[in-house]
Structure 1
Amino acid sequence: MNVRVQGRPVGTHPTVPPEVGRGAMRRITEVGEEVLRRPCREVAATEFGTPELAALIDDMFLAMHVAEGAGLAANQVGVDVRLFVFDCLDGLGGRHVGHIANPVLDVPDLAGRRLIEDVEGCLSVPGASAVVPRTAHAVVRGFDKDGAPLVIEGEDYFARCLQHEVDHLSGTLYLDRLSKRSRKDALRQMEDRRAGVFERRVMRQERLAAANP
């Protein structure tokens, strides 16, 4: 498998990223909570390179891993800041791992560009999924935790992940991109499946704790 960490190719990378082992568990916010609905603030220049920012990234990796996610935005752990982490397969034989602060999505010229409709879910809408149109290519520009410029490029499912996470930081959920009927169906799915999702998360957290006493 081709692996890229912070957009750069690497030979190998652990199945469980090292950030997971350093993180402290944080609760994942759910649809209906106000923090998910307001645009997040920029990471300030004085915050780059700090232990606090590095710890937040570690915590987000742990929460994402426990919840079996491909990406997680900071407001999904209740922190109002423009930052997301990812550990995502692209569907083309590649894996992408990393984080990006103050991301800006390059908006493609949609004229003549085919949107790909595929199933999408969200850790903040536990148990639900729906078909959402996204572009098959995405570029996000921002900074790493130390303030170095960063460009992350994605194709296929990873492009979908990048667009989904940037949406989060603007206060947008994938539910907002659905028809009224599809949105109601997704919320019904969540109601039916939420308890089972949380049971699995608790079990994964317990197994992880047992493996790393």
Structure 2
Amino acid sequence: MLRRSKRISEQMERNNLSNQVSVKKSRFNEELKKKELEALKNKLKIAQGNLSDSKNKLNYELRLKEILKKKLEESERAFGAANTVATEAKTMLGNYTKLTENQKQIIADMEGKMEDFKNQSKFNEALNREKATAESYKKKWVNMMNRAKNGEDENGPFPWKHCESCDEPYGDTDIRIPRVLVCGHTICTECAGKLMMNNNSIRCPVDRQSTKTENGRADELPKNFVLLNV
């Protein structure tokens, strides 16, 4: 009887011990699950933080790209404006150069006239040239008036066959040969010689542009073969 009671008692102790182990094991498993869950939560927070950082970095790169794009567009516009300014400056420089050349020619002509006025003999020569020019204009005007009175055209039937200075017809003789000036107008050799100044240049009687010669001779000017052959 005592043995049986002892066995029952031992069995109960083993059962209690087993129950205690089961309870501890269950508690341990719960604690482990809680720790694992907490670790997963921490990892999730870290992942969310990394995702937020990546998103912010991406937004920053997009904004930076947009800023760089605007800067590039501004640079292209500035470069285009600079090219336009450079082209305009080049054009202005070309115009200024042409203007300067014309001014130099005018100054040279004025200096030539001043040289003529330095002594009485040269002054008289210059005065005679101006008188000859005025006389040629007067003669031309009288011829025009006579033609008008006679019912003719202003310069006759073929005005281009007459000198634009003295209004006399061109011909094959030396003094009547038509000579072309740089401005495109044509005068006879005789008038070209009369209009020659001391600086070896001729001032056109029509538009007052100067034509430079090397040796101050009227026969250096090119002939107008078109007028000679008509």
Structure with more strand by fraction:
1
Specify the structure having the higher radius of gyration (Cα).
Answer: 2
- Please, what TM-score do these two structures have when normalized by structure 1? 0.22
Structure with more helix by fraction:
2
**More relative contact order, 1 or 2 (CA 8 Å, 6+ apart):** 1
